[in-house]
Amino acid sequence: MQIKIEKIVFPGKSLARQDGKVFLTDEGLPGETVDITTTKEHASFTEAVTTKIITPSPHRIKPRCDHHKACSPYQYIDYPEQLKIKTSQAQEIFSRLNIVPQPIAPSPCQWEYRNKINFKILRGKNGFFGAYNTFGRHDKFVPAQHCFLADKEMNEIAGTVIKVLNTHGITGVDEITIRKSINTHAFLLTLNAGKGFDTTKFTKSFDSRILNGGGAAAIFYENNKAHTVQVAGTKTITQKCAQMIYKIGPLSFFQINIPAIDLLIDDLKKDLNLNHNDSLADIYCGVGTFGIALGKICKKIIFVENDPENTRLIEDNLKLNDISNAKVCLGNGNNLDDIFQEVPSTLVIDPPRSGIGKTGCAQLTKLEAERLVYIACDPMALARDLGELAKIYKIETLRVYDLFPQTPHFECCAVLSRC
């Protein structure tokens, strides 16, 4: 069946209308005619996969990765067109709230921008190999030997780890994660391990010198709790972001595109114009990225984080950046009443992809802080939550950043002030 693609909708499906029906397929640029095979009928649309490009768009290019549909399905689109598509998607999503976001800010790097990569470790006829989940699926995989979203050194370390597993018959590793420090060029290797993984054997077999002063840790999970065993080198590495230094561990969340997040932070500094009379709270703060980058000038910073290991790293990061006007609290966005004796003038939240929902929005509206910064990697969740927050807040700026080139995803940052 042939259809003509009208547009690409978030998060990355190509839409066509034909004979009164809506089709969503996995590939196709606006204006292209494509062959599809339908896969599933829904009440309002039909799912499909693209099998052939009949009339290609001038914006279509050759993907770099054989596995690009798993890690970065926009590789077939030239970068200016990617930005145009994402800007259009953001405008459509927020139009329901009568909000017009600013055009997307391009990433300074379109390739090799990730400071962290993950590979599933699977076993085939010829031994272990690295793989990615098929896009949007947790039960299907595609082999991945080299990913162009990460640099050559990170890919080489992944290859070395897999070679060690095969050469020495080391079992029990189901996933590896490699992080790279952009300031020291040290690496942090994490192995998700299970029954049968021999830490001693791995330590003896693996030459940790390739980590360039970094380290390696095995993570064992039992009853949904992580237990870390150091197998080589250091427990942490540092990352430089917005001229600040952050210590991160094997399970820490940290932004994966630092040059692009630097742009976001620079814009926030201008939009907020904080001074020594302001107080700032960084909620869902991880290792303290935004609170440390924005709040050093403030009279007080409060960090709210629900992971005890992250709270310890925040304390270290405060010392690394010579910040003494801070308090670190163990908690989440649902117990802020118990944490704040006095509501800070500015709240910064960077919640998980699912957003904060009605419960979190109710907490924030109850606090009535003067300003609120909401950073989100899912624009749909942000739009939903902004609708709730509109009860007491108005949007001053809504910016969009391409933190994830070659993929359908982008970051949003909304600055709100109390009505």
Mean pLDDT along residues 3-30: 96
Task: Find the distance separating the first CA and the last CA of the chain, reported in whole Å.
Answer: 53
Each residue of 264-312: pLDDT tens digit? 999 999 999 999 999 999 999 999 999 999 999 999 999 999 999 999 9
Token code pair at residue 107: 């990433």
CA dihedral angle for residue 323, residue 326, residue 329, residue 331, rounded to 10 degrees = -90
pLDDT tens-digit profile of 150-193?
999 999 999 999 999 999 999 999 999 999 999 999 999 999 99
Side chain identity at 140, as an amino acid letter? K
pLDDT per residue over 41-52, tens digit each?
999 999 999 999
Cα separation, 133 vs 135, whole angstroms: 6
CA 243 to chain centre: 21
- What predicted TM-score, i.e. pTM, was given to this entire model? 0.94
CATH superfamily of 96-108+257-418: Vaccinia Virus protein VP39 (3.40.50.150)
Which structure tokens are listed for 20?
């009164």
- Residue matched to tokens 């004796």: 341
Exposed, middle or buried by CB within 10 Å (0-12, 13-18, 19+), for 274? buried
Instruction: Return the CATH superfamily for domain 2-60.
Output: Nucleic acid-binding proteins (2.40.50.140)
Report residue 299 as tokens.
């009279």
Q: Which segments of 206-356 does DSSP mark as H helices, in order?
A: 258-272, 289-295, 308-320, 336-339
* Domain layout of the chain by residue ranges: 2-60, 96-108+257-418, 116-238
The rounded distance, in Å, linking the Cα atoms of 28 and 53 is 8
Percent helix, percent strand, percent coil in the chain, to nearest 5: 25, 35, 40
d(CA 282, CA 303): 5
Q: Which overall architecture, per CATH, does domain 116-238 show? A: Beta Barrel (2.40)
